[in-house]
Chains A and B, each alone.
Chain A
Amino acid sequence: MRTLLYFSIGILFGITMFKSEAASWFRIYEMFQFNAFHMYGIIGSALFCGAIITFVLKKFNVNSVVDGEPIVIPSKESGWKRYLFGGVFFGFGWAISGACPGPMFTVLGAGFLPILVVIASATLGTFCYGLLQKKLPH
Chain B
Amino acid sequence: MGAGKNVSFFQFDWKAQRWNLVVASGAVLGGFIASNYLSASTAVAITPATITQLNEMGILDAGQSYMPAQLFSLAAFSSVKSVLLLSLGGFLVGFGARYAGGCTSGHAISGLSNFQLPSLIAVIGFFVGGLIVNHFILPILL
A residues sitting closer than 8 Å to B (CB atoms) are 2-3, 6-19, 21, 23-30, 32-33, 35-36, 43, 46-47, 50-51, 53-54, 73, 75-80, 82-115, 117-131, 133-134, 136
Contact = CB atoms under 8 A, between A and B. Distances in A.
B67 A32 contact: no
A83 B93 contact: no
B22 A33 contact: no
Interface of B: 3, 7, 9-10, 19, 22-35, 38-39, 42, 44, 46-47, 49-50, 53-54, 62-63, 66-68, 71-74, 76-77, 82-83, 85-105, 107-119, 121-135, 137-138, 141
A108 B31 contact: yes
Contacts of B34: 14-15, 18-19, 106, 110
A7 to B, nearest CB: 4
Contacts of B9: 129-130, 133
Given A10-B22, A97-B90, A125 B129 contact: no
Given A87-B125, A119-B90, A123-B94, A109 B24 contact: no
B121 A80 contact: yes
Nearest to A37: B47
The majority secondary structure among interface residues of chain A is helix
A29 B10 CA distance: 34
A67 B63 CA distance: 45
A73 B114 contact: yes
Contacts of B85: 96-97
Contact of B97 (A86, A115, A128): A86
A17 B30 contact: yes
A14 B19 CA distance: 15
Given A110-B35, A112-B72, A89 B95 contact: yes
Contacts of B42: 110
A31 B28 CA distance: 24
B129 A129 contact: no
A102 B34 CA distance: 15
B9 to A, nearest CB: 4
Nearest to B108: A43
A111 B32 contact: yes
